[in-house]
Structure 1
Amino acid sequence: MTRVVRFHQHGGPEVLRIEEVDLPRPGAGEVQIRIKALGLNRAETLLRKGTYIETAVLPSGLGLEAAGIVEMIGEDVQGFATGDAVSIVPPLSMVRWPAYGERATFPAELVVKHPTSLSWEAAAAVWMSYLTAYGALIDIAKLTQGEFVVVTAASSSVGLAAIQTANAVGAVPIAVTRTSAKKQALLEQGAVHVVASAEEDLAARLRDIAGADGVRVVLDPIGGPIFEPLTAAMSRGGILIEYGGLSPEPTPFPLFAVLSKMLTLRGYLVHEIISSPTRREAAKAFVLDGLASGALRPVIAKTFGFEDIVAAHRFLESNEQLGKIVVTV
């Protein structure tokens, strides 16, 4: 028997329960991991609430990121041995492959031997953030040296990963955050410029920073009214990559900015990187190289124990964090 986190009804953090289940042996092409740490993501709160792109089958497990030790190996798996220290590229379905537990099973193709220099907590904080940032900025936008890139929700784990990714290729990250409370922390994390969208004229500040040519690349998980000032500050032929929908307000379509500047508004899910073996391997190589060189450094906002999963989810929804929330098992 293995302790796992499940929910039997949709709702707030309080619906999460720690229960004992009988975890089957790994099947062909699978690896079973004894979990040491879990990385938390907003997708898990959406599944818990019943508003995620995937539908939970109740009672449902959840979780997308983990690090731990290989405990059992299924048939037809090459390259792993029991005792290996590994971390998990997020699976396409957390309902099918839930990570929250003392043990969990994953497809072998998503299991990675991470650098031994990483702690369990750091290893659990790697793949969702850096694969998302890489896929958007490098794979899709082809961000290059010297270019400005706007990163909204910059204090999130993906936002910080995007700042580091931009710096790794010599681009100039402009961090957008709601207030100036996190400005100094974002500068310390590598942002070259920080704009507080609730305190400043966002479009005007971005134009001041980027000049008349504007910003070619914008990475945004918010949507809503921010679309208009963002697109107003973009360059001709620019691309706005949208990977979330955090704003509760409607998202206007900035018709005249899109037409006059020939902008691309691109919806993006990290699934498109994970589901393509070629793109996934290129992303993994970029991230592993960055971890080895120190250019990429997971930022841990706060660590909770496994029994405190409800408190961890409450903190995840507080918007107080800078970086990734991790649960140790």
Structure 2
Amino acid sequence: MKRVEFNEIGGTEVLNIVERDIPTPTENELTVKIKFAGLNRAEELFFQGQYLFQPNSPSLLGLEASGVVEKVGLGVEGFKTGDEVCLTPNITPTEYGFLGDYILAPVKAVIKKPKSLSFKQAAAVWMTYGTAYANLVLRGGLEKGANQTVLISAASSGVGTASIQMAKRYDAKVIATTRTSEKKEFLKALGADLVIATEEENLVEAVQEYTQEKGFDIAMDAIADSDFMGQLIETAAFEAKIVVYGALALNPMPSFPLFPMLIKGVSIQGLHYVFQTLEIEERFKQMKEDLFQGFESKKYVPMVDKIFSLEQIQDAYNYMASNKQKGKILVTTDFGRRLIDDE
């Protein structure tokens, strides 16, 4: 079987496809035959040595996927060989990685695949819609029918597109930001009420005009940049919430305008999806209920931008780094490729 490994930190050139034996599960583990895996920014930070965990040598890669249970380890209940499953990011990346033909997964990271989702879609939902729910509902306080305005940065990403759909399901008004006008029509078609190209337009003026100077109620910040945070605080409503869940700017200590934040009572919160949602049973249950309802009703429709083969793993991460995607980037194994060929 083939899987992705790397032995040193660096760019995509450090990623290798290696041949290994099919892994055997130990206690509370499953062996899963992978069909599709979703790519994430956290993985890129991991192999670059800029994530919360430092890689081992060799190190595995991959935080979410879909597939079929191949073998069940001791102590595993509720799963059997042949079950169609999703693999969530509820793992430690120094111990597990889902980019491979067959992988090991801890039982806590395995969920039975919703029947309403294809294998392709099922590899594109747990980081995207889960992060959206944690940001908007658990941390941001999004409520149905509350007439809230939500600002979503990096709106064309997998998390961004999921967040637009979720905010609209909750009847919120959506302001989406993207760097250029290239993706404006795509984001409007997805449901965004206002799209701001931040490299071409004045974000503060656009938000103030659209909200009649009230400002937004909830913002999702994937950038963590000082200038962008300053603009968010300037356009925030009274007692608005800004949830920082990403670090695209790679700024270890962004600054922000203190007094406007104090005067408005703006809350700035951090979010790590795994620690603050997946590992807290009640929140995880609440999130799953929302997501399953959204998938069943077709209010949540995973946006898959492009699919690469496992052998194209370097190209796949280079494409992600280009910021050209509109939705989720997937990688497929030979098992998943057969499904594509049958479509």
Please indicate, yes or no, whether the TM-score normalized by the shorter chain is above 0.5: yes
1:313 CA displacement:
1.1
SS at match of 2:135: helix
Find runs of 4+ consecutive structure 1 residues off by over 4 angstroms.
none
Q: Name the residue aligned to 2:176.
A: 175
Q: 1:285 to 1:310 in 2, by over 3 A?
A: same
Partner Cα separation in structure 2 for residue 92 and residue 71 of structure 1: 19
Please say if 1:313 is aligned against 2:317: yes
Q: Name the residue aligned to 1:190.
A: 191
1:163 CA displacement:
0.6
- AA aligned to 1:140 is R
Contact 1:176–1:195 under 8 Å retained in 2: yes
Please say if 1:74 is aligned against 2:73: yes
Q: Name the residue aligned to 1:238.
A: 240
Between 208-217 and 181-190, report the one with greater CA deviation: 208-217
User: TM-score when scaled to structure 2?
Assistant: 0.93
Q: Name the residue aligned to 1:65.
A: 64
- AA aligned to 1:116 is K
Partner Cα separation in structure 2 for residue 56 and residue 23 of structure 1: 22
- AA aligned to 1:205 is A
Contact 1:141–1:217 under 8 Å retained in 2: yes
- AA aligned to 2:320 is L
Deviations 1:134-182 (A, max 9, x none): 0110111121232100000000100111111101111111101111110
Superposition pairs for residues 295-306 of structure 1, below 5 Å?
Answer: 295-306=299-310
Q: Name the residue aligned to 2:257.
A: 254
Please say if 1:266 is aligned against 2:269: yes
- AA aligned to 1:326 is L
1:92 CA displacement:
3.4
Partner Cα separation in structure 2 for residue 119 and residue 18 of structure 1: 26
Contact 2:69–2:81 under 8 Å retained in 1: yes
Q: Which runs of 5+ in 1 are unaligned?
A: none
1:248 CA displacement:
4.8
Partner Cα separation in structure 2 for residue 216 and residue 71 of structure 1: 46
Partner Cα separation in structure 2 for residue 274 and residue 237 of structure 1: 27
Q: 1:116 to 1:187 in 2, by over 3 A?
A: same
SS at match of 1:50: coil
1:9 CA displacement:
1.2
Partner Cα separation in structure 2 for residue 252 and residue 30 of structure 1: 43
Deviations 1:249-288 (A, max 9, x none): 6632211211110111101110210111111111111111
Partner Cα separation in structure 2 for residue 161 and residue 74 of structure 1: 34
Partner Cα separation in structure 2 for residue 150 and residue 313 of structure 1: 27
Superposition pairs for residues 276-287 of structure 1, below 5 Å?
Answer: 276-287=280-291
The number of residues matched between the two structures is 328
1:82 CA displacement:
1.0
Partner Cα separation in structure 1 for residue 241 and residue 90 of structure 2: 27
SS at match of 1:166: helix
Q: Name the residue aligned to 1:328.
A: 332
Partner Cα separation in structure 1 for residue 325 and residue 247 of structure 2: 19
SS at match of 1:37: strand
Q: Which runs of 5+ in 2 are unaligned?
A: 334-343
Partner Cα separation in structure 1 for residue 120 and residue 69 of structure 2: 16
1:23 CA displacement:
4.5
Contact 1:5–1:101 under 8 Å retained in 2: yes
Partner Cα separation in structure 2 for residue 90 and residue 222 of structure 1: 21
Partner Cα separation in structure 1 for residue 26 and residue 297 of structure 2: 36
Contact 2:207–2:213 under 8 Å retained in 1: no
Please say if 1:291 is aligned against 2:291: no
Contact 1:135–1:270 under 8 Å retained in 2: yes
User: TM-score when scaled to structure 1?
Assistant: 0.97
The RMSD of aligned alpha carbons is 1.3
Superposition pairs for residues 110-259 of structure 1, below 5 Å?
Answer: 110-144=109-143, 145=145, 146-224=147-225, 225-248=227-250, 251-259=254-262
Partner Cα separation in structure 2 for residue 45 and residue 143 of structure 1: 30
Contact 1:91–1:97 under 8 Å retained in 2: no
Q: 1:232 to 1:113 in 2, by over 3 A?
A: same
Partner Cα separation in structure 2 for residue 128 and residue 307 of structure 1: 23
Deviations 1:216-239 (A, max 9, x none): 111011021111111111111111
Q: Name the residue aligned to 1:90.
A: 89
